[in-house]
Amino acid sequence: MDIRPILSTLRRHKTAAALIVLEVALTCAIVCNALFLVSQRVEKISMPSGIAENELVMVRVSGIGKQTNGMARTREDLASLRAIPGVTSATIINQLPFRSSSSSSSIQRQQDQERPTTDASMYTMSEDGIRTMGINVVAGRDFLPDEYMDYAVVSKAGSTDKAVPVIFSQATAAKMEPNGSALGKTYYMGKQPLHVVGIVDTLTTPTGWDDNWNESMLMPLRRGFHEGGIYMLRTAPERRDEVLKAAVAALERNDANRLMRDKKTYEDQRNDYFKNDRAMVGLLVTVCIALLVVTALGIVGLASFWVQQRSKQIGIRRALGATRGQILRYFQTENFLLATLGIVLGMLAAYAINLALMNMYELPRMPLLYLPLGAVLLWLLGQIAVFGPARRAAAVPPAVATRSS
């Protein structure tokens, strides 16, 4: 199709054409970045934790005043929790994936190394920890019963020459040994030697979503409830509510003079952690839909106006033998040219907006894939929006179109 008549018409309607171009450009710039941010949030929300999320319940309590028999009470609590019908195992752990606080430590290959090799989130747990949490050991073994120690005793003693057994996540193991296996090797946490006895598949850090989101390690150190420990119970998914109520009752029977800080399923914990991200996804999707609807309405309105204004031109073309299909393609081509110019400007604006977001909020660079994705979306939107007015124009008989002028 010869586009010179189209370009001539657009030059006569510069203001209206410019408004459509700017509207498409603005929508393209915002939608491309919004889609990128949505994908980032969805990826974050969908991160694997590495634990049996739908089988776990958690209870956290704290004492009132100084606890002189905290570890003894913790052992009593664990015995009571393991005796609850439906509980397959129970443990106490210092932290969980997807919580607002995190405990981590640097690890190095050599004791006198100037800079640590990596930083890893440090999970400490009591007996049955791996089994309770549902963490998948892919190499090596679980901790042995005689390897568990009280965290307070180890902390008080300080660094020793005796290596503490440790289990790495695969990400931590790969960071320590990029070209080999970390299993069976000894590394250092400060001056304290660590002996790697096992490697687990995935164990997300508590805060998640950073460059080291899967770099973690497990240590056989028991913490008491008074030291920030969280009781974790594993049960069948359909019995979680029942087990949670029984766990709270058991802990209150052991000591009623304690505050109940947390009592929820792990799935509830995860949902609470990501609630702001889900809200942001909803907001961005709503903004994208609103912009696309406004852009479509603008195209429909302008196309309808132009059809009305150019009814004489349409009638003459029909009288000279132009088919309905040619009239339809005329308006679709016109819209395609306007949308293309708007998309080119929108891509440049999208890139500039992404650079600004990178500088202000430390967001990653938007992959170029989102630019053609936004372009295709707006091209399709433009063609769909203009189809109705263009079809009405093509359906007008030549005599009626000429007389309407």
Q: What digits encode the pLDDT tens for the residues 360-390?
A: 887 889 999 999 999 999 999 999 998 888 8
Instruction: Give the pLDDT of residue 302.
Output: 82
Instruction: Give the pLDDT of residue 404.
Output: 47
* More confident of the two residues 335 and 274: 274
Distance CA 282, CA 33 (A): 15
Express each pLDDT in 190-235 by its tens digit. Answer: 889 999 999 999 999 998 766 678 999 999 999 999 999 999 999 9
Q: Please list, residue by residue across 54-90, b when 16 or more beta carbons sit within 10 angstroms of its beta carbon and e when fewer do.
A: ebbbbbbbebeeebeebbebbeebbebbbebeebebb
Instruction: Give the pLDDT of residue 148.
Output: 96
Q: How confident is the model at residue 405 (pLDDT cuts 50, 70, 90)?
A: very low
Instruction: Give the pLDDT of residue 209.
Output: 65
| Res 61 pLDDT > 50 | yes
Comparing 56-65, 178-187, 228-237, 388-397, which segment has the lowest mean pLDDT?
388-397
Percent of the chain past pLDDT 90, that is, above it, reads: 69
- For residues 341-346, average pLDDT: 95
- For residues 317-335, average pLDDT: 82
Instruction: Give the pLDDT of residue 1.
Output: 61
- Residues 167, 200 contacting (CB under 8 angstroms): yes
* More confident of the two residues 362 and 172: 172
- For residues 5-11, average pLDDT: 74
Instruction: Give the pLDDT of residue 328.
Output: 85
Q: Please list, residue by residue across 376-395, b when 16 or more beta carbons sit within 10 angstroms of its beta carbon and e when fewer do.
A: ebbbebbbebbbebbeebbe
Distance CA 175, CA 125 (A): 23
- For residues 40-48, average pLDDT: 93
| Res 402 pLDDT > 90 | no
Instruction: Give the pLDDT of residue 396.
Output: 66
| Res 303 pLDDT > 50 | yes
Q: How confident is the model at residue 155 (pLDDT cuts 50, 70, 90)?
A: confident
Express each pLDDT in 236-255 by its tens digit. Answer: 999 999 999 999 999 999 99
| Res 150 pLDDT > 90 | yes
Q: How confident is the model at residue 14 (pLDDT cuts 50, 70, 90)?
A: confident
Residue with tokens 């630019």: 371
Residues 206, 207, 208, 214, CA torsion sign: negative
Residue 105 one-letter amino acid: S
| Res 400 pLDDT > 60 | no
| Res 48 pLDDT > 60 | yes
Q: How confident is the model at residue 399 (pLDDT cuts 50, 70, 90)?
A: low
Q: What is the mean pLDDT of the chain?
A: 90
Comparing 21-25, 209-213, 352-356, which segment has the lowest mean pLDDT?
209-213
Q: Which of 14-18, 221-225, 304-308, 394-398 has the highest mean pLDDT?
A: 221-225
Whole-prediction pTM value?
0.83
